[in-house]
Chains A and B, each alone.
Chain A
Amino acid sequence: MKLSRRNTLQLMGGTALAASMLGPRRAFAATKITVLNWQGYGTDEKWALEAFTAATGIEVVHDYFNSEAEMITKLATNPGAYDVVLINSARIEQAAGQGLIQPVDFAKIPNSAGLAPKLKDHDNMQYEGETFGCAWVWGMNGLGVRDGKTDPDSYAALADPAWVGKVALFDDAVTAVGLGALATGQDMNDPKDLEAVKTFLQSIRPNLHNLWTSEDQWNKAFAANEFDLSIAWSGGVVRSFRNGGLPVHFVVPKEGAIGWLDGLAVPSTAPDVDAAYAFINYMIDPDFYFRWATEVGAPASANVDAMAKLPEDDLMKQVHKPDYIDTMSIMAALPDARRDAFNALWQEMKAYYAAK
């Protein structure tokens, strides 16, 4: 995010690169597409958009959401407004079930040939036998540990008195319950024993210093030495280390990380489907990813070719080992009742923490 502005200086290089990469200019004269995404999440990198527009003639504008619920709301109340939407694969079933997005036509996304099959055809992406999202990036919520501290090997460390007052959790119901489930040896998408999850989360209270809701808050608090051990985003940790020089590294404990897979989808009411696919194709292009990952900091690409392009010693690549794709649990669609139960449990936990 923060490097994007500096990157504008290197605009000319990027433009030339993109032009050569996308081949001859296709006819998209004066087309404009609207992308719905988190702000600062790849699709709105200025250099990338300028390169994309130069290569295809398609102009890209953005609208943002601040929570997945808002993404669904905006899709539902703005038919015809969006051409591309970023969607956590755990939300595909919901969005497709409501008729908000359309099946992906991979024939129009040449770069999809490089997608890891496990991610491209992941259960999360499917609804009634069709694929509704194009796998884009994946990442993990694991442990962010301050350099110089002993690396914990288990989530149990969050409740270990050795870290008293030095722990931060991510204020997100699905992540918190997932954490409790993994720590107690359960399936994070369907923990049968919510009481055990609750007991584990309660045991963190003496250590808990803060709850963070955004990467911004995490960075500022970590930079001020508020905590040493936290639930953190894999990509966020790499960004903070590389761009902000914060002394932090990412640890995947033995219980495994809480994985997630983000996809790009085309809303069923998209005004310009072809241009949308052109944009998605560009987003999974190895050259775009290389620059995004090395200069800005990104989660792992679902595109094997893109990951291969990164140098072996690249931190992004070291953190996001390809094995994880097979081993980690990925956040899956939750039935309403279970989602409500997760939210209620986390709300109760927060009230418990607040009562300290």
Chain B
Amino acid sequence: MSAGPATTAPALKMGGRRLPPWVATTALLLPAYGWLLIAIFLPLGAMFLFSFMTATPIGNKEIGYTLDQYKIFFTQPYMWQVASWTFQIAFATTLICALAGFLAALALARSGLGRSQWIFLILILLPFWTNGLVRIFSWTMVIREGGFLDAVVQFVLPEAGSVGFLYSRPAIVLGLVHGYLPYMVLTCYIAISTIDDAIVEAAESLGARWWTVLGRILIPMAAPGLIAGSVLIFVPVVGAFMEPRILGGPQGVTLGTVIEDSFTQGFNWPQGAALSFMLLAVVLAIFATFSGVLRRNAQW
């Protein structure tokens, strides 16, 4: 949507002299990327180097270089299964968030709430400000056998058995959806709130049914929000380990927990780093695959 006009960005005028455009571009980019370079890219670059080492480079051990850590999927075949669980969880979480978040943004923007839609939006974002771990422990209270959910169900249907599903992959997805949904609501809302009512009304007056409005107007216009939200959810969820551990119990084995274990229990940085970078590569590959779709609709 915003591709073309950027080329016409004229030079900055400052103190009567014209500065070349790259000066302004650099000035805008430098703080963000300079900061990221020092605090993230250099350290991660070092971590990338560690991933080829034979042992954690702390202490006075002989360090050699090896590709072994990148062969973990062949030396430990169960890792394929772990990866498959991880991506199932991540896809499920992202899809549910996309659906629920898009509908929430739609409801916010188009329910005639007026200015109070800000109040609703903030109410939706604020749970984000509580500690993640406390929230997860609270979920265990709700969904465990004999927990609050069971209490409510049995109050309505005294004969019903337990519906508790703690220590399962759906429980992990629930916790992750709860934790990451606000991203999707906000990004979708930002996109949808710019849609002109007149367009929708015009479409409706021309006889467009609701699914036409949805498919031809609302979803395409919300696309930048859906995409940004999906990035903000899918990418961190693939490496999540807190939710899988506490809500997943024995089922909570994911790439995130394996990575965490190799740093905490194993003191094996090379292995954890190698796994992280393989994870990153897969995530980038997924986004590269979809980038054709992305480019048509928006940039992220």
List residues of B (223-281) whose CB comes within 8 Å of A's CBs.
245-246, 248-253, 257-258, 261-268
Complex Cα distance, B248 from A94, in Å, reads 34
A111-155 vs B, CB cutoff 8 Å, 1 = contact: the mask equals: 000000000000000000000000000000000000000000000
A354-B246 contact given A76-B58, A76-B59, CB 8 Å threshold: no
Does B85 lie within 8 Å of A343, measured CB to CB?
no
Complex Cα distance, B60 from A352, in Å, reads 36
Complex Cα distance, B141 from A226, in Å, reads 12
Does A343 lie within 8 Å of B262, measured CB to CB?
yes
Which residues of chain A are within 8 angstroms of B144 by Cβ–Cβ distance?
Answer: 224, 226
A321 within 8 A of B: no
Does A69 lie within 8 Å of B60, measured CB to CB?
no
Which residues of chain B are within 8 angstroms of A13 by Cβ–Cβ distance?
Answer: none
Closest to B265 in A: A173
A172 within 8 A of B: yes
Complex Cα distance, B79 from A352, in Å, reads 11
Taking a contact as CB atoms closer than 8 A, the residue among A66, A94, A336 that contacts B264 in the complex is A66
Complex Cα distance, B252 from A353, in Å, reads 9
Q: How many A-B residue pairs have CB under 8 A?
A: 92
Does A209 lie within 8 Å of B59, measured CB to CB?
no
B167 within 8 A of A: yes
- Would you give the shortest CB distance from A225 to chain B, in whole angstroms? 7
A73 within 8 A of B: yes
- Would you give the shortest CB distance from A99 to chain B, in whole angstroms? 7
Interface size class of B (residues with CB under 8 A): 35 or more
Complex Cα distance, B141 from A171, in Å, reads 21
Does B85 lie within 8 Å of A354, measured CB to CB?
yes
Does A72 lie within 8 Å of B267, measured CB to CB?
yes
Taking a contact as CB atoms closer than 8 A, the residue among B58, B137, B253, B264 that contacts A98 in the complex is B58
A344 within 8 A of B: yes
A327 within 8 A of B: no
Does A69 lie within 8 Å of B78, measured CB to CB?
no
A351-B81 contact given A99-B60, A225-B146, CB 8 Å threshold: yes
Taking a contact as CB atoms closer than 8 A, the residue among A171, A340, A350, A356 that contacts B266 in the complex is A340
A69-B258 contact given A354-B250, A356-B250, CB 8 Å threshold: no
Complex Cα distance, B266 from A212, in Å, reads 17
Which residues of chain A are within 8 angstroms of B177 by Cβ–Cβ distance?
Answer: none
A69-B263 contact given A211-B249, A340-B268, CB 8 Å threshold: yes
B187 within 8 A of A: no
Does A347 lie within 8 Å of B258, measured CB to CB?
yes
A318 within 8 A of B: no
A322 within 8 A of B: no
Which residues of chain B are within 8 angstroms of A73 by Cβ–Cβ distance?
Answer: 58
Taking a contact as CB atoms closer than 8 A, the residue among B55, B58, B245, B261 that contacts A336 in the complex is B55
B82 within 8 A of A: yes
List residues of B (129-188) whose CB comes within 8 Å of A's CBs.
137, 140-141, 144-147, 167
Which residues of chain A are within 8 angstroms of B116 by Cβ–Cβ distance?
Answer: none
Does B253 lie within 8 Å of A213, measured CB to CB?
no
B194 within 8 A of A: no
Taking a contact as CB atoms closer than 8 A, the residue among A224, A346, A351 that contacts B82 in the complex is A351
B111 within 8 A of A: no
A97 within 8 A of B: yes
Complex Cα distance, B166 from A225, in Å, reads 13
Which residues of chain A are within 8 angstroms of B140 by Cβ–Cβ distance?
Answer: 220-221, 224
A210-B264 contact given A72-B58, A336-B55, CB 8 Å threshold: no
Complex Cα distance, B171 from A127, in Å, reads 47
Which residues of chain A are within 8 angstroms of B251 by Cβ–Cβ distance?
Answer: 353-354, 356
Which residues of chain A are within 8 angstroms of B263 by Cβ–Cβ distance?
Answer: 67, 69
8 tightest Cβ-Cβ pairs between the two chains A and B: A98-B59, A67-B264, A69-B267, A354-B253, A351-B78, A353-B250, A343-B266, A210-B249
Residues of B within 8 A of A (CB): 55, 58-60, 76, 78-79, 81-82, 85, 137, 140-141, 144-147, 167, 245-246, 248-253, 257-258, 261-268
Extra contacts besides A70-B264, A210-B167 (11): CB < 8 Å: A72-B267, A73-B58, A77-B58, A97-B59, A98-B59, A100-B59, A172-B265, A209-B250, A210-B250, A220-B140, A226-B145
